[in-house]
Amino acid sequence: MTLATFGAGCFWGVEYFFKQVDGVVNAKCGYMGGKDQFQTYEEVKTGTTGHAEVVQVEFDESIVSYEELLAVFWQNHNPTTLNKQGGDIGNQYRSAIFFHDKHQKDTAVRSKLDLAKSGKWGIKHIVTEIVPIQQFHPAEEYHQNYLEKNELPSCHISY
């Protein structure tokens, strides 16, 4: 199994979309990219810790490729809004790809460039960070499978 980690706004919707992908074994909500060792949701949501809400995806590369996961990532958030997704505002909602190895880094950079060249976003600049992984802090249990547990539809808009 292989890991990939993405930040694309509120992690509930991000988790939901990745769990729909054949070959994704698990998708877990959590926090990454901050300056402190461990944070709770209450601290992260203030926007002062530097952590992003992320989803760590465990996937079977014989079924789904990292490139296909990147396509899901790009399709389900707006990568041109800095520290904002819909009504969620703050650096905890930033668009970010946390790469686990050189292949993921190179693939993510190429994918971002291809998206920019595609013209899908017009002249808007894609602000998605592509940065090395840091320590992953799983979110509290009540955040895991939140939409499913609460019988809610996805909170993200596909682009």
Which residues are identified as catalytic? 10
**Which residues does 106 contact at the CB level (< 8 Å), separation at least 6?**
none
Contact 93, 53 (CB under 8 A): yes
3-state secondary structure of 32: strand
Q: What is the greatest pairwise CA distance in the chain?
A: 40
3-state secondary structure of 121: coil
Contact 133, 108 (CB under 8 A): no
